[in-house]
Protein backbone atom coordinates (compact mmCIF):
# COMPACT_ATOMS: atom_id res chain seq x y z
CA UNK A 1 0.00 0.00 0.00
CA UNK A 2 1.39 3.34 -1.09
CA UNK A 3 0.67 6.59 0.74
CA UNK A 4 -0.99 9.38 -1.28
CA UNK A 5 -0.61 7.77 -4.71
CA UNK A 6 -3.07 8.92 -7.34
CA UNK A 7 -4.50 6.46 -9.84
CA UNK A 8 -3.07 8.35 -12.78
CA UNK A 9 0.52 7.69 -11.77
CA UNK A 10 0.87 4.22 -13.23
CA UNK A 11 1.37 2.96 -16.74
CA UNK A 12 -1.41 0.42 -16.24
CA UNK A 13 -3.86 3.28 -15.56
CA UNK A 14 -3.03 5.00 -18.82
CA UNK A 15 -0.09 7.25 -18.01
CA UNK A 16 2.56 6.84 -20.72
CA UNK A 17 4.90 9.42 -19.17
CA UNK A 18 5.86 7.23 -16.21
CA UNK A 19 7.91 4.08 -15.76
CA UNK A 20 6.27 1.52 -13.51
CA UNK A 21 7.25 -1.78 -15.14
CA UNK A 22 6.83 -4.09 -12.14
CA UNK A 23 3.41 -2.78 -11.13
CA UNK A 24 2.33 -2.81 -14.79
CA UNK A 25 3.44 -6.44 -15.00
CA UNK A 26 1.41 -7.24 -11.89
CA UNK A 27 -1.55 -5.55 -13.60
CA UNK A 28 -1.04 -7.65 -16.72
CA UNK A 29 -1.06 -10.84 -14.70
CA UNK A 30 -3.77 -9.81 -12.27
CA UNK A 31 -7.04 -7.88 -12.22
CA UNK A 32 -7.05 -4.06 -12.42
CA UNK A 33 -9.90 -2.24 -10.65
CA UNK A 34 -11.06 0.98 -12.31
CA UNK A 35 -13.60 2.12 -9.74
CA UNK A 36 -11.93 1.47 -6.40
CA UNK A 37 -12.46 4.13 -3.70
CA UNK A 38 -11.15 4.94 -0.28
CA UNK A 39 -14.24 5.70 1.76
CA UNK A 40 -12.18 8.28 3.72
CA UNK A 41 -9.35 9.83 1.69
CA UNK A 42 -6.92 10.51 4.50
CA UNK A 43 -4.10 8.38 5.93
CA UNK A 44 -5.24 7.53 9.46
CA UNK A 45 -8.94 6.93 8.81
CA UNK A 46 -8.33 5.00 5.61
CA UNK A 47 -5.83 2.64 7.26
CA UNK A 48 -8.29 1.97 10.07
CA UNK A 49 -10.91 1.02 7.44
CA UNK A 50 -8.41 -1.17 5.55
CA UNK A 51 -7.53 -3.15 8.68
CA UNK A 52 -11.09 -3.57 9.95
CA UNK A 53 -13.40 -3.58 6.92
CA UNK A 54 -15.55 -0.84 8.43
CA UNK A 55 -16.47 2.73 7.61
CA UNK A 56 -14.71 5.44 9.57
CA UNK A 57 -17.75 6.20 11.75
CA UNK A 58 -17.45 2.61 13.06
CA UNK A 59 -13.64 2.49 13.44
CA UNK A 60 -13.91 5.80 15.33
CA UNK A 61 -10.42 6.66 14.25
CA UNK A 62 -9.02 9.74 12.48
CA UNK A 63 -6.80 12.77 13.07
CA UNK A 64 -8.77 15.34 15.12
CA UNK A 65 -10.96 12.50 16.49
CA UNK A 66 -8.89 9.96 18.37
CA UNK A 67 -7.20 6.58 18.57
CA UNK A 68 -8.75 3.22 17.76
CA UNK A 69 -10.32 1.34 20.65
CA UNK A 70 -8.91 -2.13 21.44
CA UNK A 71 -12.20 -3.95 20.76
CA UNK A 72 -12.16 -2.53 17.21
CA UNK A 73 -8.56 -3.62 16.61
CA UNK A 74 -9.41 -7.10 17.96
CA UNK A 75 -11.53 -7.58 14.81
CA UNK A 76 -8.84 -6.54 12.33
CA UNK A 77 -7.52 -8.89 9.64
CA UNK A 78 -4.03 -9.36 11.19
CA UNK A 79 -5.61 -10.52 14.47
CA UNK A 80 -7.95 -12.97 12.73
CA UNK A 81 -5.20 -14.37 10.51
CA UNK A 82 -2.75 -14.87 13.34
CA UNK A 83 -5.39 -16.76 15.33
CA UNK A 84 -5.78 -19.01 12.29
CA UNK A 85 -2.11 -19.92 12.14
CA UNK A 86 -0.72 -17.31 9.78
CA UNK A 87 2.57 -15.58 10.42
CA UNK A 88 1.80 -11.86 10.38
CA UNK A 89 4.18 -9.15 9.27
CA UNK A 90 3.94 -5.39 9.03
CA UNK A 91 6.37 -2.74 7.81
CA UNK A 92 6.11 0.99 7.28
CA UNK A 93 3.51 3.51 8.33
CA UNK A 94 0.97 1.94 10.64
CA UNK A 95 -0.98 5.18 10.63
CA UNK A 96 -2.83 5.08 13.95
CA UNK A 97 -2.51 3.84 17.50
CA UNK A 98 -4.73 1.60 19.57
CA UNK A 99 -5.63 2.89 23.03
CA UNK A 100 -3.44 1.20 25.62
CA UNK A 101 -1.64 -0.89 22.96
CA UNK A 102 0.09 1.73 20.82
CA UNK A 103 1.21 0.30 17.49
CA UNK A 104 0.26 -3.31 18.36
CA UNK A 105 3.75 -4.58 17.54
CA UNK A 106 3.11 -7.69 19.62
CA UNK A 107 0.32 -8.77 17.23
CA UNK A 108 2.89 -9.34 14.48
CA UNK A 109 5.55 -12.04 14.09
CA UNK A 110 7.70 -9.68 12.01
CA UNK A 111 7.68 -5.96 12.75
CA UNK A 112 9.11 -3.17 10.62
CA UNK A 113 6.46 -0.61 11.50
CA UNK A 114 7.03 2.90 12.83
CA UNK A 115 4.92 5.55 14.54
CA UNK A 116 3.46 8.70 13.03
CA UNK A 117 4.44 9.56 9.48
CA UNK A 118 7.65 7.43 9.58
CA UNK A 119 10.84 8.70 7.93
CA UNK A 120 12.38 8.38 4.49
CA UNK A 121 15.66 7.88 6.39
CA UNK A 122 15.75 4.16 7.11
CA UNK A 123 18.08 4.74 10.06
CA UNK A 124 15.41 6.92 11.71
CA UNK A 125 12.85 4.07 11.67
CA UNK A 126 13.86 2.12 14.78
CA UNK A 127 12.49 -1.26 13.70
CA UNK A 128 14.18 -1.00 10.28
CA UNK A 129 17.67 0.07 11.32
CA UNK A 130 19.34 -3.17 10.25
CA UNK A 131 18.55 -2.29 6.61
CA UNK A 132 19.89 1.26 6.81
CA UNK A 133 23.40 0.60 5.57
CA UNK A 134 22.40 -1.07 2.30
CA UNK A 135 19.14 0.85 1.85
CA UNK A 136 19.49 4.29 3.47
CA UNK A 137 16.22 5.42 1.84
CA UNK A 138 13.24 3.66 3.37
CA UNK A 139 11.34 2.62 0.24
CA UNK A 140 13.73 -0.16 -0.81
CA UNK A 141 14.27 -1.16 2.83
CA UNK A 142 10.64 -2.29 2.87
CA UNK A 143 11.28 -4.43 -0.21
CA UNK A 144 14.17 -6.08 1.64
CA UNK A 145 12.01 -6.56 4.74
CA UNK A 146 9.45 -8.27 2.52
CA UNK A 147 12.08 -10.62 1.13
CA UNK A 148 13.18 -11.57 4.64
CA UNK A 149 9.60 -12.32 5.71
CA UNK A 150 8.99 -14.48 2.64
CA UNK A 151 12.23 -16.44 3.17
CA UNK A 152 11.59 -16.94 6.87
CA UNK A 153 7.98 -18.06 6.35
CA UNK A 154 9.07 -20.67 3.83
CA UNK A 155 11.75 -21.90 6.22
CA UNK A 156 9.16 -22.24 8.97
CA UNK A 157 6.70 -23.81 6.51
CA UNK A 158 3.89 -21.49 7.58
CA UNK A 159 1.43 -19.34 5.62
CA UNK A 160 2.06 -15.63 5.99
CA UNK A 161 0.29 -12.29 5.67
CA UNK A 162 2.72 -9.49 4.88
CA UNK A 163 1.44 -5.90 4.88
CA UNK A 164 3.77 -3.17 3.71
CA UNK A 165 2.72 0.46 4.00
CA UNK A 166 5.22 2.52 2.05
CA UNK A 167 5.76 6.13 3.05
CA UNK A 168 6.12 7.09 -0.60
CA UNK A 169 5.00 9.24 -2.32
CA UNK A 170 3.78 11.17 0.77
CA UNK A 171 5.46 14.49 1.53
CA UNK A 172 8.18 15.59 2.35
CA UNK A 173 9.52 15.40 -1.21
CA UNK A 174 12.57 13.23 -0.56
CA UNK A 175 12.98 10.63 -3.31
CA UNK A 176 15.79 8.08 -3.22
CA UNK A 177 18.75 9.77 -4.95
CA UNK A 178 19.75 6.48 -6.58
CA UNK A 179 16.85 7.09 -8.99
CA UNK A 180 17.62 10.75 -9.76
CA UNK A 181 18.23 10.01 -13.43
CA UNK A 182 14.85 8.36 -14.10
CA UNK A 183 12.84 11.53 -14.74
CA UNK A 184 15.61 14.07 -15.25
CA UNK A 185 14.33 16.68 -17.68
CA UNK A 186 11.04 14.80 -18.23
CA UNK A 187 7.75 16.46 -19.05
CA UNK A 188 4.37 15.15 -17.96
CA UNK A 189 0.98 15.52 -19.60
CA UNK A 190 -1.44 17.42 -17.40
CA UNK A 191 -4.81 15.82 -16.67
CA UNK A 192 -7.58 17.13 -18.92
CA UNK A 193 -9.32 18.74 -15.91
CA UNK A 194 -6.15 20.54 -14.75
CA UNK A 195 -6.39 24.11 -13.52
CA UNK A 196 -8.66 26.60 -11.82
CA UNK A 197 -10.83 27.06 -14.92
CA UNK A 198 -12.08 23.50 -14.33
CA UNK A 199 -12.93 24.17 -10.68
CA UNK A 200 -15.40 27.06 -10.86
CA UNK A 201 -18.40 24.69 -10.67
CA UNK A 202 -17.16 23.01 -7.48
CA UNK A 203 -18.56 23.97 -4.08
CA UNK A 204 -17.31 26.99 -2.13
CA UNK A 205 -16.94 24.64 0.85
CA UNK A 206 -14.32 22.57 -0.97
CA UNK A 207 -12.29 25.74 -1.51
CA UNK A 208 -12.23 26.58 2.21
CA UNK A 209 -9.50 24.09 3.06
CA UNK A 210 -5.79 23.85 2.36
CA UNK A 211 -6.38 21.67 -0.70
CA UNK A 212 -7.36 24.77 -2.68
CA UNK A 213 -4.37 26.95 -1.88
CA UNK A 214 -1.98 24.08 -2.47
CA UNK A 215 -2.56 24.33 -6.19
CA UNK A 216 -0.36 27.42 -6.05
CA UNK A 217 1.66 26.95 -2.84
CA UNK A 218 2.85 23.54 -4.02
CA UNK A 219 3.61 24.92 -7.50
CA UNK A 220 1.29 22.79 -9.61
CA UNK A 221 0.51 26.00 -11.50
CA UNK A 222 4.10 27.15 -12.04
CA UNK A 223 6.25 23.98 -12.06
CA UNK A 224 4.06 21.02 -12.91
CA UNK A 225 6.87 19.01 -14.55
CA UNK A 226 9.28 19.62 -11.68
CA UNK A 227 6.73 18.65 -9.02
CA UNK A 228 5.60 15.54 -10.90
CA UNK A 229 9.17 14.41 -11.63
CA UNK A 230 9.83 14.12 -7.88
CA UNK A 231 6.43 12.59 -7.14
CA UNK A 232 6.87 9.98 -9.86
CA UNK A 233 10.44 9.28 -8.73
CA UNK A 234 9.09 8.42 -5.27
CA UNK A 235 6.67 5.98 -6.92
CA UNK A 236 9.41 4.53 -9.13
CA UNK A 237 11.18 3.25 -6.00
CA UNK A 238 7.98 1.52 -4.84
CA UNK A 239 7.87 -0.17 -8.22
CA UNK A 240 11.42 -1.46 -7.69
CA UNK A 241 10.45 -2.76 -4.22
CA UNK A 242 7.43 -4.56 -5.73
CA UNK A 243 9.85 -6.23 -8.14
CA UNK A 244 12.11 -7.30 -5.25
CA UNK A 245 9.19 -8.95 -3.48
CA UNK A 246 7.90 -10.74 -6.58
CA UNK A 247 11.39 -12.03 -7.41
CA UNK A 248 11.68 -13.49 -3.91
CA UNK A 249 8.28 -15.21 -4.17
CA UNK A 250 9.53 -16.87 -7.38
CA UNK A 251 12.89 -17.79 -5.82
CA UNK A 252 11.17 -19.41 -2.85
CA UNK A 253 8.79 -21.35 -5.08
CA UNK A 254 5.59 -19.88 -3.63
CA UNK A 255 4.63 -17.36 -6.34
CA UNK A 256 1.83 -19.62 -7.58
CA UNK A 257 0.24 -19.77 -4.13
CA UNK A 258 0.52 -16.15 -3.01
CA UNK A 259 -2.08 -13.43 -3.56
CA UNK A 260 -0.84 -9.86 -4.01
CA UNK A 261 -2.83 -6.65 -3.48
CA UNK A 262 -1.45 -3.30 -4.62
CA UNK A 263 -3.22 -0.07 -3.64
CA UNK A 264 -2.88 3.33 -1.94
CA UNK A 265 -4.41 4.65 1.28
CA UNK A 266 -5.88 7.63 -0.58
CA UNK A 267 -5.57 9.31 -3.94
CA UNK A 268 -3.95 12.62 -4.69
CA UNK A 269 -5.03 15.76 -6.50
CA UNK A 270 -2.14 17.01 -8.62
CA UNK A 271 -3.66 20.22 -9.95
CA UNK A 272 -6.98 18.85 -11.20
CA UNK A 273 -9.74 21.49 -10.89
CA UNK A 274 -7.10 23.79 -9.38
CA UNK A 275 -6.56 21.85 -6.16
CA UNK A 276 -3.70 19.89 -4.57
CA UNK A 277 -3.49 17.09 -1.96
CA UNK A 278 -6.30 14.75 -0.81
CA UNK A 279 -9.31 14.50 1.60
CA UNK A 280 -12.01 15.92 -0.75
CA UNK A 281 -14.55 13.70 -2.54
CA UNK A 282 -13.31 14.33 -6.08
CA UNK A 283 -12.15 11.40 -8.17
CA UNK A 284 -8.45 12.24 -7.99
CA UNK A 285 -8.39 11.99 -4.18
CA UNK A 286 -11.07 9.39 -3.45
CA UNK A 287 -10.35 6.87 -6.21
CA UNK A 288 -7.13 4.87 -6.02
CA UNK A 289 -5.24 2.15 -7.87
CA UNK A 290 -6.13 -1.41 -7.00
CA UNK A 291 -4.55 -4.45 -8.56
CA UNK A 292 -5.17 -7.94 -7.22
CA UNK A 293 -3.12 -10.84 -8.47
CA UNK A 294 -4.36 -14.25 -7.44
CA UNK A 295 -2.43 -16.75 -9.58
CA UNK A 296 -5.20 -19.31 -9.05
CA UNK A 297 -8.05 -17.09 -10.24
CA UNK A 298 -9.78 -17.22 -13.60
CA UNK A 299 -8.84 -13.65 -14.44
CA UNK A 300 -5.09 -14.21 -13.87
CA UNK A 301 -3.04 -13.49 -16.98
CA UNK A 302 -6.02 -12.34 -19.05
CA UNK A 303 -5.35 -8.62 -18.71
CA UNK A 304 -8.90 -8.02 -17.54
CA UNK A 305 -10.23 -4.93 -15.82
CA UNK A 306 -12.99 -4.56 -13.27
CA UNK A 307 -15.38 -1.63 -13.54
CA UNK A 308 -17.53 -2.58 -10.56
CA UNK A 309 -17.69 -0.38 -7.47
CA UNK A 310 -15.27 -1.44 -4.71
CA UNK A 311 -13.82 0.21 -1.62
CA UNK A 312 -11.14 0.09 1.06
CA UNK A 313 -13.68 -1.52 3.40
CA UNK A 314 -13.41 -4.60 1.14
CA UNK A 315 -9.78 -5.46 1.95
CA UNK A 316 -10.30 -7.08 5.34
CA UNK A 317 -13.22 -9.28 4.21
CA UNK A 318 -11.31 -10.25 1.04
CA UNK A 319 -8.21 -11.25 2.97
CA UNK A 320 -10.26 -13.28 5.46
CA UNK A 321 -12.14 -14.94 2.62
CA UNK A 322 -8.90 -15.89 0.85
CA UNK A 323 -7.70 -17.49 4.08
CA UNK A 324 -10.94 -19.40 4.54
CA UNK A 325 -11.91 -17.42 7.64
CA UNK A 326 -15.61 -16.44 8.07
CA UNK A 327 -16.26 -12.72 7.52
CA UNK A 328 -17.67 -11.15 10.69
CA UNK A 329 -21.00 -9.35 10.34
CA UNK A 330 -19.72 -6.05 11.69
CA UNK A 331 -17.66 -5.52 8.51
CA UNK A 332 -19.21 -3.13 5.98
CA UNK A 333 -17.15 -4.37 3.06
CA UNK A 334 -17.49 -7.50 0.99
CA UNK A 335 -15.04 -10.06 -0.35
CA UNK A 336 -13.63 -9.23 -3.79
CA UNK A 337 -12.82 -12.85 -4.55
CA UNK A 338 -15.98 -13.26 -6.65
CA UNK A 339 -14.80 -10.47 -8.91
CA UNK A 340 -11.54 -12.35 -9.42
CA UNK A 341 -13.64 -15.09 -11.01
CA UNK A 342 -15.96 -12.78 -12.93
CA UNK A 343 -14.96 -9.07 -12.98
CA UNK A 344 -18.32 -8.01 -14.46
CA UNK A 345 -20.49 -9.31 -11.67
CA UNK A 346 -20.38 -8.05 -8.10
CA UNK A 347 -19.13 -5.05 -6.18
CA UNK A 348 -21.28 -2.55 -4.31
CA UNK A 349 -24.56 -1.01 -5.41
CA UNK A 350 -23.56 2.05 -3.43
CA UNK A 351 -20.75 3.25 -1.18
CA UNK A 352 -20.41 6.17 1.21
CA UNK A 353 -17.51 8.59 1.04
CA UNK A 354 -16.86 10.85 4.01
CA UNK A 355 -14.60 13.59 5.23
CA UNK A 356 -14.76 14.66 8.87
CA UNK A 357 -11.26 16.09 9.09
CA UNK A 358 -10.08 19.68 8.67
CA UNK A 359 -12.13 22.89 8.69
CA UNK A 360 -15.87 22.35 9.26
CA UNK A 361 -16.64 23.80 5.83
CA UNK A 362 -14.78 20.98 4.06
CA UNK A 363 -16.51 18.17 5.96
CA UNK A 364 -19.04 16.34 3.80
CA UNK A 365 -20.74 13.07 3.04
CA UNK A 366 -21.10 11.57 -0.43
CA UNK A 367 -22.91 8.61 -1.89
CA UNK A 368 -21.42 6.78 -4.86
CA UNK A 369 -23.18 4.39 -7.17
CA UNK A 370 -21.96 2.63 -10.28
CA UNK A 371 -22.71 5.74 -12.34
CA UNK A 372 -23.19 8.72 -10.06
CA UNK A 373 -21.62 10.62 -7.19
CA UNK A 374 -23.75 12.84 -4.96
CA UNK A 375 -22.21 15.06 -2.26
CA UNK A 376 -24.02 17.19 0.30
CA UNK A 377 -22.01 20.15 1.55
CA UNK A 378 -23.90 20.98 4.73
CA UNK A 379 -21.82 23.94 5.91
CA UNK A 380 -22.97 27.52 5.61
CA UNK A 381 -22.12 30.99 6.93
CA UNK A 382 -22.50 34.64 5.87
CA UNK A 383 -20.93 33.96 2.48
CA UNK A 384 -21.53 30.23 1.83
CA UNK A 385 -24.84 28.41 1.31
CA UNK A 386 -25.20 24.64 1.80
CA UNK A 387 -24.65 23.00 -1.59
CA UNK A 388 -25.10 19.78 -3.53
CA UNK A 389 -22.95 18.21 -6.23
CA UNK A 390 -24.09 15.54 -8.64
CA UNK A 391 -21.67 14.04 -11.14
CA UNK A 392 -22.49 11.57 -13.88
CA UNK A 393 -19.22 9.66 -13.79
CA UNK A 394 -20.09 7.45 -16.72
CA UNK A 395 -20.52 10.40 -19.09
CA UNK A 396 -18.33 12.87 -17.22
CA UNK A 397 -15.48 10.99 -15.51
CA UNK A 398 -13.50 14.22 -15.10
CA UNK A 399 -16.33 15.82 -13.06
CA UNK A 400 -16.59 18.89 -15.26
CA UNK A 401 -20.38 19.40 -14.99
CA UNK A 402 -22.38 19.54 -11.77
CA UNK A 403 -25.77 18.17 -12.86
CA UNK A 404 -27.66 18.92 -9.67
CA UNK A 405 -29.74 21.73 -11.21
CA UNK A 406 -30.07 20.18 -14.67
CA UNK A 407 -33.80 19.43 -15.32
CA UNK A 408 -32.79 16.28 -17.19
CA UNK A 409 -31.26 14.93 -14.00
CA UNK A 410 -34.15 15.58 -11.61
CA UNK A 411 -35.03 11.94 -11.24
CA UNK A 412 -31.39 10.88 -10.82
CA UNK A 413 -30.91 13.64 -8.27
CA UNK A 414 -33.92 12.52 -6.27
CA UNK A 415 -32.74 8.90 -6.32
CA UNK A 416 -29.24 9.92 -5.24
CA UNK A 417 -30.65 12.04 -2.42
CA UNK A 418 -32.53 8.99 -1.19
CA UNK A 419 -29.41 6.85 -1.35
CA UNK A 420 -27.47 9.54 0.46
CA UNK A 421 -30.12 9.57 3.17
CA UNK A 422 -29.74 5.79 3.49
CA UNK A 423 -25.99 6.19 4.08
CA UNK A 424 -26.67 8.89 6.66
CA UNK A 425 -29.23 6.66 8.40
CA UNK A 426 -26.53 3.97 8.69
CA UNK A 427 -24.20 6.56 10.18
CA UNK A 428 -26.84 7.56 12.76
CA UNK A 429 -27.50 3.94 13.65
CA UNK A 430 -23.95 2.62 13.80
CA UNK A 431 -21.50 5.44 14.58
CA UNK A 432 -19.36 4.91 17.66
CA UNK A 433 -20.42 7.07 20.58
CA UNK A 434 -16.91 8.32 21.30
CA UNK A 435 -14.37 10.44 19.39
CA UNK A 436 -16.93 12.97 18.17
CA UNK A 437 -18.66 11.04 15.39
CA UNK A 438 -22.35 11.21 16.34
CA UNK A 439 -22.68 14.97 15.73
CA UNK A 440 -22.28 14.43 11.99
CA UNK A 441 -25.60 12.62 11.96
CA UNK A 442 -27.16 16.07 12.42
CA UNK A 443 -24.65 18.13 10.44
CA UNK A 444 -24.95 15.94 7.31
CA UNK A 445 -28.77 15.83 7.49
CA UNK A 446 -30.22 17.57 4.41
CA UNK A 447 -33.57 18.10 6.12
CA UNK A 448 -32.33 19.94 9.23
CA UNK A 449 -31.99 23.71 8.67
CA UNK A 450 -28.54 25.21 9.06
CA UNK A 451 -29.58 27.39 12.01
CA UNK A 452 -30.33 24.24 14.00
CA UNK A 453 -26.83 22.87 13.45
CA UNK A 454 -23.92 23.46 15.78
CA UNK A 455 -21.27 25.10 13.57
CA UNK A 456 -18.49 24.87 16.14
CA UNK A 457 -15.81 22.46 14.99
CA1 LIG B 1 -2.19 9.01 2.75
pLDDT in tens, 56-84: 999 999 999 999 999 999 999 999 999 99
CA of 117 to the centre of ligand 1 (A): 9
The one-character DSSP state at 69 is P
CA of 57 to the centre of ligand 1 (A): 18
Nearest to 245 by CA among 145, 323, 109: 145
CA of 50 to the centre of ligand 1 (A): 12
Nearest to 19 by CA among 7, 30, 9, 32: 9
CA of 278 to the centre of ligand 1 (A): 8
CA of 378 to the centre of ligand 1 (A): 25
CA of 238 to the centre of ligand 1 (A): 15
Q: What is the mean pLDDT of the chain?
A: 97
Q: 47-85 b/e with 16+ CB inside 10 Å = b? A: bbbbbbbbbbbbbbbbeebbbbbeebbebbbbbbbeeee
Distance from C-alpha of 228 to C-alpha of 135, rounded to nearest angstrom: 24
- The answer to whether residue 36 scores a pLDDT higher than 70 is yes
Distance from C-alpha of 366 to C-alpha of 390, rounded to nearest angstrom: 10
Pairing mode, if any, of strands 305-306 and 31-33? parallel
CA of 220 to the centre of ligand 1 (A): 19
CA of 56 to the centre of ligand 1 (A): 15
CA of 293 to the centre of ligand 1 (A): 23
Distance from C-alpha of 118 to C-alpha of 147, rounded to nearest angstrom: 20
Element (H, E) at 273: none
- Cβ–Cβ contacts within 10 Å for residue 288, how many? 27
Per-residue DSSP letters for 79-139?
Answer: HHHHHTT-EEEEEEE----BTTTBT-GGG-SEEEEESTT--SBGGGSGGGGGGTTT--BHH
pTM assigned to the model: 0.97
Reported as a single tens digit per residue, the pLDDT across 311-351 is 999 999 999 999 999 999 999 999 999 999 999 999 999 99
- Give the confidence band of 303 by pLDDT, cuts at 50, 70, 90: confident
CA of 1 to the centre of ligand 1 (A): 10
Alpha helices in 276-381 (DSSP H): 283-286, 315-322, 337-341
CA of 182 to the centre of ligand 1 (A): 24
Contact status, residue 332 vs residue 54, Cβ threshold 8 Å: yes
104-125: average pLDDT: 97
Model pLDDT, residue 302: 85
Instruction: Dump strand ranges (E) for 166-250.
Output: none
CA of 35 to the centre of ligand 1 (A): 18
CA of 43 to the centre of ligand 1 (A): 4
Contact status, residue 268 vs residue 4, Cβ threshold 8 Å: yes
Contact status, residue 38 vs residue 266, Cβ threshold 8 Å: yes
CA of 158 to the centre of ligand 1 (A): 31
Task: Identify the bridge partners of residue 302 per DSSP, sorted by sequence position.
Answer: none
Distance from C-alpha of 225 to C-alpha of 62, rounded to nearest angstrom: 33
Reported as a single tens digit per residue, the pLDDT across 357-416 is 999 999 999 999 999 999 999 999 999 999 999 999 999 999 999 999 999 999 999 999
CA of 12 to the centre of ligand 1 (A): 21
CA of 357 to the centre of ligand 1 (A): 13
Tell me the CB-side half-sphere exposure of residue 456, using CA atoms within 13 A: 1
CA of 265 to the centre of ligand 1 (A): 5
Distance from C-alpha of 109 to C-alpha of 152, rounded to nearest angstrom: 11
- The answer to whether residue 457 scores a pLDDT higher than 70 is no
CA of 443 to the centre of ligand 1 (A): 25
CA of 138 to the centre of ligand 1 (A): 16
- The answer to whether residue 165 scores a pLDDT higher than 90 is yes
Contact status, residue 198 vs residue 272, Cβ threshold 8 Å: yes
Contact status, residue 300 vs residue 293, Cβ threshold 8 Å: yes
Contact status, residue 105 vs residue 113, Cβ threshold 8 Å: yes
CA of 277 to the centre of ligand 1 (A): 9
CA of 286 to the centre of ligand 1 (A): 11
Q: How far is CA 58 from the centre of its chain?
A: 17
Element (H, E) at 383: none
Nearest to 388 by CA among 359, 412, 357, 371: 412
30-40: average pLDDT: 97
CA of 422 to the centre of ligand 1 (A): 28
CA of 266 to the centre of ligand 1 (A): 5
Torsion of CA 414, 420, 426, 428, to 10 degrees: -100
CA of 262 to the centre of ligand 1 (A): 14
CA of 258 to the centre of ligand 1 (A): 26
Amino acid sequence: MADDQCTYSLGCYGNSDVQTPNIDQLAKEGLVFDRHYNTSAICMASRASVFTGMYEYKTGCNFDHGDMHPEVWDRSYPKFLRKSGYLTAFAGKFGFEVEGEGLCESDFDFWGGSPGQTSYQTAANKSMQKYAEIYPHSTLSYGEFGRDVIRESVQRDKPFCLSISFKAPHRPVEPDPRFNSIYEGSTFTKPANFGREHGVHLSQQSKAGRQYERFTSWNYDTDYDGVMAKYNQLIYAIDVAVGMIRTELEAQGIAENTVIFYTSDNGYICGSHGYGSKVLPMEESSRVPLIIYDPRSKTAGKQERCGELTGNIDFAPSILDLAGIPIPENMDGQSLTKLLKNPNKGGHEQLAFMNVWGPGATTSLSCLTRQYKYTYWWYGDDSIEPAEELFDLKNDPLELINQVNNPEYVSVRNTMREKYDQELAKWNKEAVEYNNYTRYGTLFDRTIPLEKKDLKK
